[in-house]
Amino acid sequence: MYSIDLSGKKGIVFGVANDRSIAWGIAEILASAGARLALTYQNERLKERVDRLAGTLDGALTIPCDATDDGQIEEAFKQVADTFGDISFLVHSIAYANREDLSGRYSDTGREGFRIALEVSAYSLLPLVRHAAALMPNGGSVVAMTFQASQRVFPGYNVMGTAKAALEHGVRQLAAEFGGDNIRVNAISAGPLETLAARGIHGFRDMRRVHADTAPLKRNISVDEVAKTALFLCSDMASGITGSIIPVDAGYHIMAV
């Protein structure tokens, strides 16, 4: 239990696939701070697992939402509006690229693979923030998840690096657009974590090892460390922070080698 109190606050978390998902780590910590949550799941295949996880949180809703489907996005926010009325935070923790586009030569990325990666991992933030903002009459906080491959070349990350660059730019655009409504938009740039999404990246194990050897803290980070930062960003403690990309990477980003 941490001393940030989110009692009476409500919010929506996108991206729980299983108990290793970063979104689940964030959901658990937000709930333990007293917030009431809606968790979305991508498709029916994930429903049972997400329902089971949500069942361990007080009063959590689960709602289907494929972020490539405008109708499902609209319906998800309608359900949240009907049940919660207003919300004060949104967590975007979703990304996808075809497996063949996460290894090999970047220049071989096909048109369709490029489109899919950018649509799911970057474009999706726009409609989610647009809908969430309509439910944030008193302001709010949006937290997205990114990775340093937006700035540097990580072997295997390929088109997902392009998607993260677009996502981070979107964070700045949206922060500027919604700042007047007291809605803050930030992203956490996490070090490599062993999740379902990470398993698709060629050479991921090596990436973790190099990260731990190189980072000033001489280790990898944990999902809990990302979740604690998300809790901070969703709380009033971060009231002056928007449009920022906050590294939670044991300091890896400052190193030249």
Ligand X SMILES: NC(=O)c1ccc[n+]([C@@H]2O[C@H](COP(=O)([O-])OP(=O)(O)OC[C@H]3O[C@@H](n4cnc5c(N)ncnc54)[C@H](O)[C@@H]3O)[C@@H](O)[C@H]2O)c1
Q: Which residues are catalytic?
A: 157, 164
Strand order in the sheet with 36-41: 61-64, 36-41, 10-14, 89-92, 140-146, 183-190, 245-248
Say whether residue 198 binds ligand X (CB under 6 A).
Answer: yes
For residue 121, what is the DSSP state? I
145 versus 233: smaller Cβ distance to ligand X? 145
Structure tokens at 151: 């700035």
64 versus 139: smaller Cβ distance to ligand X? 64
User: Residue from 53, 142, 145, 250 that binds ligand X (CB under 6 A)?
Assistant: 145
Say whether residue 16 binds ligand X (CB under 6 A).
Answer: yes
Binding residues for ligand X, rule CB under 6 A, total: 25
CB 246 within 8 A of CB 187: yes
Name the residue type at position 244: S
Shortest distance in whole angstroms from residue 46 CB to ligand X: 6
How far is residue 99's CA from residue 29's CA, in Å, rounded to a whole number? 31
CB atoms within 10 A of CB 50: 24
> In the chain, how many H helices and how many E strands?
9, 7
Binding part of the chain for ligand X, among 62-70, 133-141, 175-183, 232-240 by CB under 6 A, reads: 62-70
Binding part of the chain for ligand X, among 75-83, 88-96, 150-158, 235-243 by CB under 6 A, reads: 88-96
Say whether residue 96 binds ligand X (CB under 6 A).
Answer: yes
- The contacts of residue 35 (CB under 8 Å, 6+ apart) are 6, 7, 9, 10, 11, 89, 234
Spatial CA neighbour of 183 closest among 220, 230, 233, 250: 233
Total residue count of the chain as it appears in this document: 257
Binding part of the chain for ligand X, among 126-134, 145-153, 168-176, 231-239 by CB under 6 A, reads: 145-153
- In the shown chain, the binding pattern of residues 99 to 138 toward ligand X, with x for contact by CB under 6 A and - for none, equals ---------------------x------------------
Shortest distance in whole angstroms from residue 123 CB to ligand X: 11
Binding site for ligand X (CB under 6 A): 15-17, 21-23, 42, 66-68, 93-96, 120, 145-147, 190, 192-193, 195-198
